């Protein structure tokens, strides 16, 4: 099925926010996936007001973060890094709102409702960002991402899903997601997270440094490849970013919270073991085969990277 590509109209986001009380909703509807026909958007009328049942749920979440009673804070000002985005979302209303909002921000959005078709699209086209629902027809978003990471596709991934419990978020991050946003959500928050992921991509693609070297360990940031002593080391996307954080630390101590912010772009639940789990997996790949230790644990403090040579 062909992706549903939005018309990049000129209606600004402030109008969309003011007209709806929030730029997008986040509760799963009952709309079923259209039969295999593509949904390509032509010229669009102004966005319709959000259905009251959806608006109430989102506004309840937004009230505590508002400047004016009942209304969300204004969208952040930022320089947009235009990206090609794959959106996997089987709820028609949510898919349309997210696609249209991101398109108006300057991005090109391919929207698919079927997990298996999203997997095919992501393996045959180059995307700068993946936005994935988890509960999707034929193949769920978690399985889609695991398959992509196994295929060495390292495009940043953000889960946008109603599955928001701690265990669900940890499972998604372990699968290789870079960020996780639970429904219901404010469009301004989604947009901010997309901007952050785009900024990181821009830093890598436009910066002067494309290779990091520490001792006998080398990271190619453009090709997303790691070698040690000239031997390739097979890292998934999250392990690669974790090792990148260590190489950039210049011998400084990195706390758990620092790693959560650098690698996962979030202040995560302090009770989670996601950092320890990924550090353990990284050590198994860059230390054990070489018979030494380069990542030191400082009990009560965090970690320090001490490369050899």
Query: In whole angstroms, what is the distance from residue 201 CA to residue 189 CA?
Result: 19
Query: In whole angstroms, what is the distance from residue 146 CA to residue 122 CA?
Result: 12
Look at 37 and 294; give whichever has higher pLDDT.
294
What's the pLDDT band for 293 if we cut at 50, 70, 90?
A: very high
| pLDDT, mean over the chain | 76
Whether 97 and 187 have beta carbons less than 8 Å apart is answered as: yes
Which of 12-26, 27-41, 44-58, 246-260 has the largest mean confidence?
246-260
Nearest-CA neighbor of 102 among 177, 39, 14, 194?
Answer: 194
Q: Give the residue carrying structure tokens 């912010």.
A: 261
- CATH homologous superfamily for the domain 4-204: Response regulator (3.40.50.2300)
Question: pTM of the prediction?
Answer: 0.50
Per-residue 3-state assignment (H helix, E strand, C coil) for 44-112: CCCCCCCCHHHHHHHHHHHHHHCCECCECCCCCCCCCCCCEEEEECCCHHHHHHHHHHHHHCCCEEEEE
4-204 and 208-305: identical CATH topology: no
Tell me, what's the pLDDT at 295?
95
> What CATH number belongs to 208-305?
1.10.10.10
Tell me, what's the pLDDT at 296?
93
Domain ranges of the chain: 4-204, 208-305
pLDDT tens per residue across span 175-187: 989 899 988 889 9
Q: Which of 7-11, 121-125, 154-158, 299-303 has the lowest mean pLDDT?
A: 7-11
Q: Which 8-state DSSP code applies to residue 6?
A: P
């Amino acid at each position: 099925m062909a992706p549903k590509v939005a018309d990049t109209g000129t209606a600004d986001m402030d109008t969309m926010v003011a007209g709806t009380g929030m730029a997008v909703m986040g509760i799963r509807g009952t709309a079923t996936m259209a039969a295999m026909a593509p949904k390509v958007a032509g010229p669009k009328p102004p966005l319709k007001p959000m259905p009251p049942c959806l608006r109430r749920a989102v506004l309840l979440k937004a009230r505590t973060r508002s400047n004016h009673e009942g209304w969300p804070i204004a969208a952040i000002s930022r320089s947009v890094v235009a990206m090609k985005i794959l959106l996997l979302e089987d709820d028609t209303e949510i898919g349309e709102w997210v696609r249209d909002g991101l398109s108006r921000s300057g991005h090109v959005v391919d929207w698919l409702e079927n997990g298996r078709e999203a997997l095919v699209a992501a393996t045959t086209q180059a995307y700068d960002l993946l936005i994935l629902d988890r509960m999707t027809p034929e193949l769920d978003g978690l399985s889609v991402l695991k398959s992509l990471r196994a295929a060495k596709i390292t495009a940043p991934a953000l889960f946008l899903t109603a599955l928001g419990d701690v265990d669900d978020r940890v499972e998604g991050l372990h699968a290789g997601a870079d960020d996780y946003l639970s429904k219901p959500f404010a469009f301004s928050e989604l947009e901010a997270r997309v901007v952050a992921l785009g900024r990181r991509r821009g830093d890598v693609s436009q910066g002067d440094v494309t290779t990091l070297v520490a001792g006998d360990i080398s990271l190619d940031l453009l090709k997303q490849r790691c070698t040690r002593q000239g031997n390739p080391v097979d890292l998934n996307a999250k392990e690669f970013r974790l090792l990148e954080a260590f190489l950039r630390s210049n011998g400084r101590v990195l706390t758990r919270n620092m790693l959560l912010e650098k690698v996962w772009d979030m202040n995560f639940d302090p009770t989670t073991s996601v950092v320890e789990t990924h550090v353990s997996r990284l050590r198994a790949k860059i230390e054990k085969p070489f018979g030494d230790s380069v990542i030191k644990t400082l009990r009560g403090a965090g970690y320090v990277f001490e490369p050899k040579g």
